């Protein structure tokens, strides 16, 4: 069995927390995954990424991880280890919050989602294969984008919200041999040109069967699905746009109450405008969520910065036509929907109003065609099989 160092909970204690869907591991390392069957002489890889699902993987059933359906990264992290083992690498896995020292001399390959690659000694950099596992936009773009949206929200609404998605400076792209990404080419524009770029297909946590929509109802309904950092993700802009379209409905699925200052603005808006509906957090794998998604024609996600959002990847499986900003880097919008290129909130609101009205007014046959194109894109690019295929292609480049 691999050795587990520095974990904050015993495995049995984790299972006790499963019913409450609470599972956090601030740090920790799992060493020697795959060593028992690969042997001591095998190549060795270091992965630095989220560790929550890995204890379940090494004990034989990753799907028992209680937060598996919370985000695609949990399954993907375990699949990364599986494919590296399959390629002959013993894997040492460090959580992104681990403070343990790294012995760079142990490794043939490093895959890092944070800023560790710059710590590799110069004498080792040439012989050690280095992958920056990128999940977002450039750190400077992201930080400035969020702060700009916070400033603009305060100027429009008089409320200061706290930044939720600020990231520390990160320079792994400047020393990596390869850099992965999930989004459109927009995501890459500020990163160093030197590493070879490799596009991964982000997975979805649920892959429902396609259902043809009743367009008489669906054409009037749109869905916003997201997590923390609501101003960064443009929920305020979506709400302000739908205030101007009382004949169209916006359904909001997320944890808005967690961001108290934002909630102090949103809650009275919900009471005032009956076409804006708050659903709270929803499990995307439930029948209740599926019913709402199938009653909507499109998804709205005017985020200031994303690396190809998993929420929109998930909604492709319900055939929801994306209306998004260029800064969200949504690949599905290349086949159907609308992309708003402005980064100015007032202009985004105006263009969003125009886009949802135009989409809602399309002929039924055209709406069905766009929904089917989005669903087909999701089936091709946003499944667990698609992630495996594209990560395996990366491993093949590294061998």
**Cβ–Cβ under 8 Å, residues 27 and 11:** no
pLDDT of 16 reads: 38
Exposed/middle/buried for residue 167 (C-beta within 10 Å: 0-12, 13-18, 19+)? middle
- Sheet strands (E) in the chain: 3-5, 29-33, 43-49, 89-95, 109-112, 129-133, 178-181, 196-199, 221-225, 249-253, 276-280, 298-301, 321-325, 338-340
At 76-109, the pLDDT tens digits run: 999 999 999 999 999 999 999 999 999 999 999 9
d(CA 95, CA 106): 18
Helix axes 139-157, 235-243, angle to 10 degrees: 40
pLDDT score of 344 more than 70: yes
**Cβ–Cβ under 8 Å, residues 149 and 85:** no
For the chain, the 3-state helix, strand and coil shares in percent, each to the nearest 5, are 45, 15, 40
At 377-396, the pLDDT tens digits run: 999 999 999 999 999 999 99
Q: How many residues does the chain have?
A: 399
**Cβ–Cβ under 8 Å, residues 177 and 196:** yes
The answer to whether the Cα torsion of 188, 189, 190, 195 is positive or negative is positive
At 110-166, the pLDDT tens digits run: 999 999 999 999 999 999 999 999 999 999 999 999 999 999 999 999 999 999 999
pLDDT score of 7 more than 80: no
pLDDT of 27 reads: 81
d(CA 302, CA 174): 29
d(CA 28, CA 7): 5
**Reported confidence tier of residue 3, pLDDT bands at 50, 70, 90:** low
Written as six digits, the tokens of 359 are 């989409």
pLDDT of 171 reads: 98
Torsion-angle region of 9 (φ positive above 0: left; ψ -120 to 50: alpha; else: beta): beta
**Reported confidence tier of residue 40, pLDDT bands at 50, 70, 90:** confident
How many other β-carbons are positioned within 10 Å of the β-carbon of residue 280? 10
Three-state secondary-structure class, residue 251? strand
Give, in order, the Cα–Cα distances in Å from 317 to each of 93, 211, 321. 31, 10, 10
DSSP characters over 334-386: GTSSEEE----HHHHHHHHHHHHHHHHTS-HHHHHHHHHHHHHHHHHHSSHHH
d(CA 27, CA 7): 7
**Reported confidence tier of residue 267, pLDDT bands at 50, 70, 90:** very high
Question: What average pLDDT is seen over the chain?
Answer: 94
Using a pLDDT cut of 90, give the percent of the chain over it: 92
């Amino acid at each position: 069995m691999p050795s587990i160092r520095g974990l904050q909970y015993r495995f049995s204690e984790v299972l006790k927390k499963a019913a409450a869907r609470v599972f956090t591991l601030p740090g920790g390392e799992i060493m020697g995954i795959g060593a028992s069957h690969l042997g001591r002489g095998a190549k060795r890889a270091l992965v630095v990424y989220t560790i929550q699902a890995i204890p379940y993987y090494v004990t034989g059933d990753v799907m028992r991880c209680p937060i598996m359906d919370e985000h695609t990264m949990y399954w993907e992290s375990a699949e990364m280890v599986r494919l590296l083992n399959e390629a002959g690498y013993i894997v040492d896995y460090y959580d992104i919050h681990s403070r343990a020292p790294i012995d760079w001399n142990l490794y043939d390959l490093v895959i890092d989602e944070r800023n560790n690659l710059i710590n590799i000694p110069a004498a080792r950099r040439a012989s050690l294969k280095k992958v920056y596992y990128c999940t977002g936009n450039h750190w400077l773009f992201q930080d400035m984008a969020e702060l700009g949206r916070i400033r603009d929200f305060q100027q429009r609404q008089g409320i200061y919200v706290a930044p939720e998605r600020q990231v520390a400076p990160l320079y792994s792209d400047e020393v990596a041999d390869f850099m992965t990404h999930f989004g459109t080419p927009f995501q890459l524009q500020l990163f160093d040109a030197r590493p070879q770029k490799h596009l991964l297909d982000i997975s979805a946590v649920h892959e429902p069967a396609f259902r043809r929509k009743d367009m008489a109802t669906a054409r009037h309904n749109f869905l916003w699905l997201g997590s923390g950092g609501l101003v960064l993700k443009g929920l305020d802009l979506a709400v302000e746009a739908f205030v101007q379209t009382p004949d169209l409905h916006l359904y909001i699925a997320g944890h808005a109450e967690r961001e108290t200052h934002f909630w102090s603005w949103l809650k009275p808006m919900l009471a005032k405008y009956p076409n804006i509906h708050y659903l709270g957090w929803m499990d995307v794998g439930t029948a209740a969520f599926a019913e709402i998604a199938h009653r909507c024609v499109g998804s709205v996600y005017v985020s200031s910065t994303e690396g190809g959002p998993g929420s929109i990847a998930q909604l492709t499986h319900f055939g929801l036509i994306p209306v998004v900003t260029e800064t969200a880097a949504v690949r599905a919008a290349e086949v159907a929907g609308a992309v708003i290129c402005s980064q100015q909130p007032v202009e985004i609101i105006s263009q969003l109003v125009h886009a949802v009205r135009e989409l809602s007014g399309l002929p039924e046959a055209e709406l069905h065609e766009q929904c089917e194109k989005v669903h087909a894109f999701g089936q091709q690019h946003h499944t667990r099989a698609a992630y495996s295929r594209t990560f395996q292609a990366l491993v093949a480049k590294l061998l």
